[in-house]
Structure 1
Amino acid sequence: MGAQERQRGILSRIIRETDPPTGALPRIPLSDTEADEAYYARVGEVLDLAGNIGALLMASGTPATATMDQVTAIAAAYGVDRCEVDVINTTIHVAAYRGPSSPVSTLHIVQSRSIDFSRLAAVDRLIGKIRAGEISPSEARTELDTIITAPHPYRRWIATLAWGALAFATAGTLGASWLACVVSALSTMTIDRVNRRLNRHGLPFFFQYAVGGAIAAAPPIILYWLSPRLGIHFEPTVAIAAGLVVLLAGLSLVGSVGDVISGAPVTAAGRFFELVMMTGATIAGVALVLHLANRFGAPFVAIDAHAPPALAEFPARVAFGAASAAAYALACYAERSAAIAAAFGGAAGTIAFLLAQGAGLGAVVASFLAAVPIGLVGRLMERRNLAPPLVVSIAGIVPLLPGLALLHGIYAILNDQHALGFASVLGAFAIGTALAAGVTLGEWSSWKVRRRRLQARRADRRTRLPGQTALSSAD
């Protein structure tokens, strides 16, 4: 029996951990829980305000981690320090500790709604007031209600014209003729009006994107079919690709990839799956039109995956890129300063992309390098109080979205070139991911540089203070 007990003791010492498997949770002292009743009554109001702002940010395409930071900062600004925030694609859960027997939490549903950059800018200014301590929770809630219920800053037909201008400028960026640019603009404005009517009847977004893809492809194919009879030369490829870019621009690619990079996989999976489904619906609409055109004897359309780089047209393409970003910002009801900031972002991205292509880099690497300055410009415009960085990042990548590569993949699949087609579609997704990753890296780099400068300025002030005090005492 003694030998067995010794063996058991040796075995237990081998198996048993010397330290606990997890770190010990800190015990909250009772003195911290003895807050006044006014604080207890204010916690619910603060959490409801922070959750509503977070839901609005998520609906506008803000990444999950950025939304969590903003909600936590709002709660901390009103004295709610022990606040936990959980954000997923459709809900925001905010909880605060008020003692062992009376915790408080709130749950908010993220409503899907059209992107309104003017509303996003107004919320950004409201958050600035809250963090600066300039407004009370009740006043902030009243201002938030005003922002949510406020009408768009200008009429709907102006936004429709802006969508047409976006398609016109996108086709120009891809090197299209004037006729192709006009056809793209008219098709896109038709998509906007038709989908707006379908949205009123409650048609799911999947079918709306499918209808949009069909409308984007039908007019260019019909005009290409009739061009010999009309005595004109018309290439439908870029016109269709421009319509696809407009449809893809409405999807929050930056937010989904930003969630993956910043460590929010659940939200990223939901957003990215939605992105894939809407893109698939657009592909289905285009494929249906191309299939019907082939069945009815339409002539063959030669589609390449990429527009050839033309450095001789460098100024024109940069101008079209800036116009595309500004037009998308206006189509999403951005303010004038935000549209100008988006134009700077689009121009910077287009310049970097053309230079990278001229250096012989591939489309994915060139897209990544082009998106980095867009993120930098977004943070710069934020510091100048011109626009939230999300406005510049989403609008700035619009001229670089891979509409032509996506169209090439669809057409290859329809012509039984499945390997080439799926490779082109995956390449389009790779370009989109590279764009979002570059924007995220640019924003992070700008934030790190700004943080180092602020730390250097604070250190410089601390070193100067003793000398200044000595001089003043000597005087």
Structure 2
Amino acid sequence: MTRIVRETDPPTGSLPRLAKADSRELDEAYSARVGEVLDLAGNIGAILMASGMPATATMDQVTGIAAAYGIGRCEVDVINTTIHIAAYRGPTSPAATTLHTVRSRSMDFSRLAAVDRLIARIRAGELSSSTARDELDAIITAPHPYKRWVATLAWGALAFFTAGTLGASLLACFVSALSAMTIDRVNRRLNRHGLPFFFQYAVGGAIATAPPLVLYWLSPKLGLHFEPTVAIAAGLVVLLAGLSLVGSVGDLISGAPVTAAGRFFELVMMTAATIAGVALVLHLANRFGAPFVAISAEAPPALAELPARVAFGAASAAAYALACYAERTAAVAAAFGGAAGTIAFLLTQGLGLGAVVASFAAAVPIGLVGRLMERRSLAPPLVVSIAGIVPLLPGLALLHGIYAILNDQHAVGFASVLSAMAIGSALAAGVTLGEWSFWKVRRRRVMARGVSR
């Protein structure tokens, strides 16, 4: 009777058992390299986190680097700003530990690609820990692949093509480009003076809004027909593109809620700062008698313009990759991701589905393309996923919500802002699902080849 009702498996699943080992042997084996290996792995993990990589993916990379150098019993804990690594050295010896802080965040895709190649060589056993450390130092101190003014032009191109994706006129595209380049130069100068990013995003929101409104105000006198809505929305997309949307939602889905909460709160605060800058300019324009601007929540679907919008979407993704100093192959890979996402979005939206569902459906192929480009050694998947969703960021919905709130339409405004947040979350979730689907399909193919042999 007891055998029938008694459970034989452990209640919480199998836990790793620590094999008994001589602590002196572990110390002798580890002492020569454990400090250098842990420092190398921690520095690489800090670069990955600063580039927006999800916490779980960073943990896997850090653990793999340690294991490549024989540090098999290694525990890694990653949160939003800290990486803690502990290497087991036996039951009677204290663990070897190291702590690294992620002090700054910057989208530098050329550095990310170089680190990705370095990790591949480390895990293939091609480099000693000292050689890998020297190469990492060279990567960190290396100059950007091109001048800063090229990145500024790329930010302008991003705004230009984003406005084109939303159906703007040629004049609106140029105004968006000039606003984006001004944002880049002004915020770069403010960053040198140590101004917190919150206020930089507020200044960026004001700059993205003021020129289109001024031109709209003066357009009757100049004999022009200018619609400022899409021009402002494109500027907001440029600001939102720098936020770690994919990483925050990816952390939440993959089981890192603490890091996800930190990144998502940072995203919310920077978005709120952008909203504050936009709201200030709109309020001042209203006080000084600027004409009323009719703002819609989203651009109308236009399947007849599918080729043009796909081209604009691909160019937007490539421009963002170049603005973040991506290599040429990575920019091409990002263009493929942007094109795939834009096609899926327009086709899904043409079927009458909502913006949230269309955004999710568009992000899945972006994740697939990112992993495919990684297999072709063209770019890290993070580059393609972050750049690929840029043409789909909900700048127009966010602008509509801000404007509705300022005109005392609070229910409509907050609903539109929440819709923008839902679209952003759907984009990040779709990218995560696309990457997961690629690994499942690839694993099945590998198993099928093994069975056939």
TM-score range, shorter chain: over 0.9
1:453 CA displacement: 1.1
Q: Are 1:423 and 2:415 counterparts?
A: yes
Once the two structures are superposed, the pairs formed by residues 63-212 of structure 1 within 5 Å of their partners are: 63-99=54-90, 100-212=92-204
Q: Could you tell me how far apart the structure 2 residues matched to 1:428 and 1:390 are?
A: 22
1:254 CA displacement: 0.3
- 2:84 is paired with a residue whose SS is strand
Whether the aligned pair in 1 keeps the contact of 2:27 and 2:89 (CA below 8 Å) is no
Q: Could you tell me how far apart the structure 2 residues matched to 1:374 and 1:350 are?
A: 9
Q: Could you tell me how far apart the structure 1 residues matched to 2:10 and 2:371 are?
A: 44
Once the two structures are superposed, the pairs formed by residues 20-35 of structure 1 within 5 Å of their partners are: 26-31=17-22, 34-35=25-26
Q: Are 1:453 and 2:445 counterparts?
A: yes
- 2:167 is paired with a residue whose SS is coil
Q: Could you tell me how far apart the structure 1 residues matched to 2:15 and 2:253 are?
A: 29
1:351 CA displacement: 0.2
Which among 230, 233, 238 is matched to residue 246 of structure 1? 238
Q: Are 1:40 and 2:17 counterparts?
A: no
Whether the aligned pair in 2 keeps the contact of 1:96 and 1:105 (CA below 8 Å) is yes
Q: Could you tell me how far apart the structure 1 residues matched to 2:292 and 2:15 are?
A: 70
Q: Are 1:360 and 2:352 counterparts?
A: yes
Q: Report the count of equivalent residues.
A: 445
- 1:30 is paired with a residue whose SS is coil
Which among 201, 212, 215 is matched to residue 220 of structure 1? 212
2:382 is aligned to: 390
1:312 CA displacement: 1.1
- Do the aligned partners of residues 393 and 20 (structure 1) sit closer, same or farther apart at CA in structure 2, a change above 3 Å counting? closer
Scaled by the length of structure 2, the TM-score of the pair is 0.96
2:329 is aligned to: 337
Scaled by the length of structure 1, the TM-score of the pair is 0.92
Whether the aligned pair in 2 keeps the contact of 1:40 and 1:98 (CA below 8 Å) is no
- Stretches (4+) displaced over 6 A: 17-25
Whether the aligned pair in 2 keeps the contact of 1:191 and 1:212 (CA below 8 Å) is yes
Which among 255, 261, 284 is matched to residue 292 of structure 1? 284
Whether the aligned pair in 1 keeps the contact of 2:23 and 2:93 (CA below 8 Å) is no
Whether the aligned pair in 2 keeps the contact of 1:381 and 1:389 (CA below 8 Å) is yes
Q: What's the CA shift string for 1:33-75, capped at 9, x where partnerless?
A: 6336243221111111001000000000000000000000000
Q: Could you tell me how far apart the structure 2 residues matched to 1:205 and 1:27 are?
A: 46
> Identity of counterpart residues, as a percentage?
85
1:471 is aligned to: none
Q: Could you tell me how far apart the structure 1 residues matched to 2:449 and 2:161 are?
A: 43
1:380 CA displacement: 0.2
Larger deviation, residues 358-367 vs 98-107: 98-107
1:118 CA displacement: 0.3
1:458 CA displacement: 2.3
Whether the aligned pair in 1 keeps the contact of 2:23 and 2:89 (CA below 8 Å) is no
Q: Which runs of 5+ in 1 are unaligned?
A: 1-16, 462-475
- Do the aligned partners of residues 428 and 20 (structure 1) sit closer, same or farther apart at CA in structure 2, a change above 3 Å counting? closer
- CA-based RMSD of the aligned residues comes to 1.6
Q: Could you tell me how far apart the structure 2 residues matched to 1:77 and 1:452 are?
A: 26
- 1:92 is paired with a residue whose SS is strand
Q: What's the CA shift string for 1:8-48, capped at 9, x where partnerless?
A: xxxxxxxxx99998788735313476336243221111111
1:457 CA displacement: 1.7
1:168 CA displacement: 0.2
- 2:33 is paired with a residue whose SS is helix
Larger deviation, residues 288-297 vs 309-318: 309-318
Whether the aligned pair in 1 keeps the contact of 2:342 and 2:392 (CA below 8 Å) is yes
Which among 389, 392, 399 is matched to residue 391 of structure 2? 399
Which among 22, 41, 49 is matched to residue 50 of structure 1? 41
1:459 CA displacement: 2.5
Q: Are 1:440 and 2:435 counterparts?
A: no
**Residue identity matched to 1:84:** E
- 1:85 is paired with a residue whose SS is strand
1:186 CA displacement: 0.2
Q: Are 1:414 and 2:406 counterparts?
A: yes
- Do the aligned partners of residues 312 and 131 (structure 1) sit closer, same or farther apart at CA in structure 2, a change above 3 Å counting? same
Q: Could you tell me how far apart the structure 1 residues matched to 2:108 and 2:443 are?
A: 30
Q: What's the CA shift string for 1:152-178, capped at 9, x where partnerless?
A: 100000000000000000000000000
Whether the aligned pair in 1 keeps the contact of 2:42 and 2:85 (CA below 8 Å) is yes
Q: Could you tell me how far apart the structure 1 residues matched to 2:341 and 2:301 are?
A: 15
1:113 CA displacement: 3.3
2:224 is aligned to: 232
Q: Could you tell me how far apart the structure 1 residues matched to 2:242 and 2:89 are?
A: 41
Whether the aligned pair in 2 keeps the contact of 1:406 and 1:424 (CA below 8 Å) is yes
**Residue identity matched to 1:337:** T
1:452 CA displacement: 1.3
Whether the aligned pair in 1 keeps the contact of 2:341 and 2:366 (CA below 8 Å) is yes
Q: Could you tell me how far apart the structure 2 residues matched to 1:313 and 1:133 are?
A: 50
